[in-house]
Amino acid sequence: MITIDQLNYYLSITTKREKQVLSVYNSLKDNFKFNKIECIETGASQDLEDGCFGLYLGKIAEESNGVFISIDIDENVIDKSKLLYNKYLPNLNIHNYISDSVEFLKNYKGSPNLVHLDSYDLDLKNPINSMLHCWLEFNAIKDKMDIGSIVLIDDNFLKGTWVEWNYTNGESEIININYDIIGKGSLIYHWVKNYNTEWCIIGDHYHIGENIKIILMKK
């Protein structure tokens, strides 16, 4: 069950992704019908400064007596993630894996009903690698998910948005989004919008000027 208390718990820890979590909460509340959660995140949550969105999904899984699976290719990230989840969700049934996310999802034997795709950091100057990786992740797991399952895809920007892109050397640049959508989920977004698929895009949060999560539901 999706509750306001789960949302408030996450927001009591961090408000970095407040708009995103509100959009996900509303979409889950209206559409997600599973009583027990089998959740996967790719790209392990580790740093509150980035929002740690997995803590919200983990809270939902914990309260359903479900299972939460977190995957990252970087062992240091996994180590930090374990500390984070142990601190904020000590009763969560969580399994951490050091693995390439595409290979892990290809070999996964379960049937997840809530998946958050957030690996391979987006580079707006060269977004192709990130969007291709996300497509491969989605293609590896989508047929293992039951009707009504939800997939969330992080870091997407609609046409007309401008982004102040910060570099590690301290410099920044204004990048204007001139395509319909640029981000980790842009290939999936176009596939769902333009073809007859088993998936639909849900939510009313697709606004210019924001970093949005694409939310998909299996029909």
Q: Cα-flanking dihedrals φ and ψ of residue 75, to 5°? A: -60, -35
CA 151 to chain centre: 7
Q: What is the pLDDT of residue 165?
A: 86
Q: What is the total residue count of the chain?
A: 219
| Cβ-proximal residues to 189 (8 Å cutoff; 6+ apart), any chain | 153, 156, 181, 201, 214
- The stretch 42-65 carries a mean pLDDT of 95
Confidence band (pLDDT; 50, 70, 90) for 50?
A: confident
pTM: 0.96
Q: What is the pLDDT of residues 106-156, one digit of tens each?
A: 999 999 999 999 999 999 999 999 999 999 999 999 999 999 999 999 999
Contact 173, 193 (CB under 8 A): no
- The stretch 82-89 carries a mean pLDDT of 97
Q: What is the pLDDT of residues 164-185, one digit of tens each?
A: 988 878 889 999 999 999 999 9
Q: What is the pLDDT of residues 16-27, one digit of tens each?
A: 999 999 999 999
What percent of the chain lies above the pLDDT cut of 90?
A: 94
